Amino acid sequence: MIRVSRNVAALALLFSAPVFAQSTSWTPYVSEQDYFAVTFPGEPNVEDIVYPTEYRIELPGRVHSLEDRGYRYSVTVVDYTDAIDIHLARNARCRAEGGDGDRCQDDGPEDIRGAIVYASWNIMNRDGVDVNHYAHYNSDRVEGHNVRLTNADGSRTNATIHMHEDRLYIIESTVPPRAPAPGIFQISMQFLDDEYQAVRYDWVGTQLYSNGYPPPPRVDNSPARGTP
């Protein structure tokens, strides 16, 4: 994992609450392990997690997060690259134990295709939240969902959920009551390829990048924001 710093105080002033922006240094952060780049207001903590999927398998993931004075920023990445193999192995065990029919059906494709919907559903069903907005979304033409919530304590959460190269990305920012949304965090998110170059796709009619389908052409092969 590498982190590259630069001064983005002017953008922070535009997109964050005034006092918070003036006292915070926003710095680009690159995770080579999880193939993304984003701008955090400081050095995030990284925690390994086990993520239970909709169809009852457990996958490895990491949460990159930072909390400061009532603000919380996080990028959760779940690795679905072995999901099909895990499901196939479970199906084989089921048949070996005498199961058949729907009991041993292959849920792997559904688990991957529905990962964005399932993650969105879990966010919208958190205790005490009001859902203010739910819509289709894209970042650099990688399709996803956008969910906006008001939490029980009056704070507000903006979440975007994407699937890119069999990795689920859940990007969340939570701000105190009446504070503006931290736009710089949301708009700075980038997906990286195997050479750690930022990925941006082109439109082909109404086609976006949709995980599991042939990708549309890329616009360019740019470095992640903030890198030389």
pLDDT band at 184 (very low <50, low <70, confident <90, very high): confident
Query: pLDDT at residue 111 above 80?
Result: yes
pLDDT of residue 227: 52
pLDDT of residue 222: 61
Write out pLDDT tens, residues 146-173: 999 999 999 999 999 999 999 999 999 9
Write out pLDDT tens, residues 7-40: 333 333 344 444 444 456 899 999 999 999 999 9
Could you give the CA distance from residue 199 to residue 191 in angstroms, rounded to a whole number? 6
Predicted TM-score (pTM) of this structure? 0.87
Domain chopping of the chain, boundaries? 2-223
Write out pLDDT tens, residues 58-100: 999 999 999 998 999 999 999 999 999 999 999 999 999 988 8
Q: What percent of the chain has pLDDT over 90?
A: 77
pLDDT of residue 2: 40
If you ran DSSP here, which 8-state letter would residue 104 be given? G
**What is 69-119 written as a DSSP string?**
TTEEEEEEEEE-TTHHHHHHHHHHHHHHTT--GGGG---HHHHHHTHHHHH
